[in-house]
Amino acid sequence: MSIPKEYTDYIDWDRLPHLWCPGCGNGIALKSAAIVLAKLGISPDNALMATGIGCSGRAGQYVSFHSFDGTHGRTLAFCTGINAAQPELTIIAFLGDGDCGAIGGNHLLHAARRNVNITVLEINNFNYGMTGGQFSPSTPVDSISSTSRQGKGEYSMDMCSLVAEAGANYVACTTVYHTAELNRFIKEAISTPGFSFVEIASSCPTYYGKYNNIGGAPEMMEWLKEKALRMEEYKKLPIEEKQKHLPRGKLVHRDREDFHTMNMKQISI
């Protein structure tokens, strides 16, 4: 199969228009992944878009390469088997915050610990959008959602720090507003062997934006721009203040031995 030069070749245009709401950040993240695949010259038959359940779960049907749409939260466990069988395959797991941090939290930690060769793009839209805007582990404290009308009474989850501690080779976070940075991070993530994790704060004007009076699509973009602080500044904030901001930057970039390399050492022939 010839290797496409343009990101457009990684998109299945016959499947459009997509079902995502106007102003949703999923399209920006998906385009960024396609741009990086084209830039890195990865053949479509050697790339897999793996998704779970929810808004992000529909990404696979819009790409021209292999796709896997799994059960809720379990995508990284499926990908662990896929990677074992096809170690050369570039696996992009395009997952939501609920998929990664709630129902799939355990698999996230263990995939990072094993350092499986997967790039996770965690699209953090701060809620369960597909099913009506309920709060997720990543929803900031006090936020309104369809299951926290009085304001969410729990702190949110710092998934990047968890994944970094668990053993991932690459961890970074940014937003769908900061597209140049997003492209750079995804490129570094895919290029780094082992487990890579990029948290992408995304816009959900339909639910999170509406419930929390942020406004429509343009206002949500402004909101992401203003809320995001560089990692050094963000780290200095007390936990209560952190809830009001989003970090952007790199947490980890290292070269621990990956899952496949360690598996091969077990095989004696």
Partner 1 sequence: MKKMFVQGNTACALGAFMAGARFFAGYPISPASELAEYCSEELPKLGGIYLQMEDEIASIAAVIGASLGGMKAFTATSGPGMSLMQENIGYASMAEVPCVIFNVQRFGLSTGVATSPGQSDIMQARWGRHGDQTIIALTPASVQECFDLTVEAFNLAERFSSPVIVLSDACIAHLRERINIFEPEELKIIERRKPDVSPKDYRPYLPDKRGVPTLSHYGGKHILKTTGLVHTETGHPSSKTEVCASLMDRLEMKIEEYQDELPPPKYYGIKDAETVLISFGISSRAAREAVHRANLAGFSVGLIQLQTVWPFPEAVIAEYCSKALRIIVVEMNRGQITREVERIISKPVEVHPLLRTDSNIFYPEEVLEKIKGVQK
Choice between 65 and 211, CB closer to partner 1: 65
Q: Judged by CB under 8 A, does residue 65 bind partner 1?
A: yes
Distances (CA, A) of 33 to 3, 140, 146: 15, 26, 31
Stretch that binds partner 1, among 76-84, 145-153, 154-162, 164-172 (CB under 8 A): 76-84
Q: Judged by CB under 8 A, does residue 118 bind partner 1?
A: no
Stretch that binds partner 1, among 23-31, 66-74, 143-151, 243-251 (CB under 8 A): 66-74
CA distance 126 to 133: 9
Q: Which of 88, 150, 213, 238 binds partner 1 (CB under 8 A)?
A: 88
CA distance 121 to 25: 12
How many chain residues are in contact with partner 1, going by CB under 8 A? 39
Choice between 45 and 222, CB closer to partner 1: 45
CA distance 204 to 101: 18
Q: Are strands 134-135 and 246-253 parallel, antiparallel or unpaired?
A: unpaired
Stretch that binds partner 1, among 38-46, 127-135, 171-179, 239-247 (CB under 8 A): 38-46
Q: Which of 21, 38, 89, 102 binds partner 1 (CB under 8 A)?
A: 89
Q: Judged by CB under 8 A, does residue 71 bind partner 1?
A: yes
CA distance 115 to 164: 11
Choice between 116 and 176, CB closer to partner 1: 116
Considering only residues 143 to 202 of the shown chain, the ones binding partner 1 according to CB under 8 A are none
Considering only residues 90 to 109 of the shown chain, the ones binding partner 1 according to CB under 8 A are 106-107, 109
Joined tokens for residue 189? 């993530």
Cis upstream peptide for 17 (omega within 30°) = yes
Choice between 112 and 224, CB closer to partner 1: 112
CA distance 209 to 220: 7
Q: How far is the CB of 65 from partner 1 (least distance, A)?
A: 6
Q: Judged by CB under 8 A, does residue 67 bind partner 1?
A: yes
**Is residue 133 classed as helix, strand or coil in its secondary structure?**
coil
Joined tokens for residue 121? 């793009």
Of 65, 67, 61, 132, nearest in space to 93 by CA? 67
Q: How far is the CB of 228 from partner 1 (least distance, A)?
A: 33
Neighbours of 137 (CB within 10 A): 18
Q: Judged by CB under 8 A, does residue 266 bind partner 1?
A: yes
Joined tokens for residue 48? 């897999």
Which residues make up the interface to partner 1 (CB under 8 A)?
Answer: 1, 15, 44-46, 48, 58, 60-61, 64-71, 74, 77-86, 88-89, 106-107, 109-110, 263, 266-269
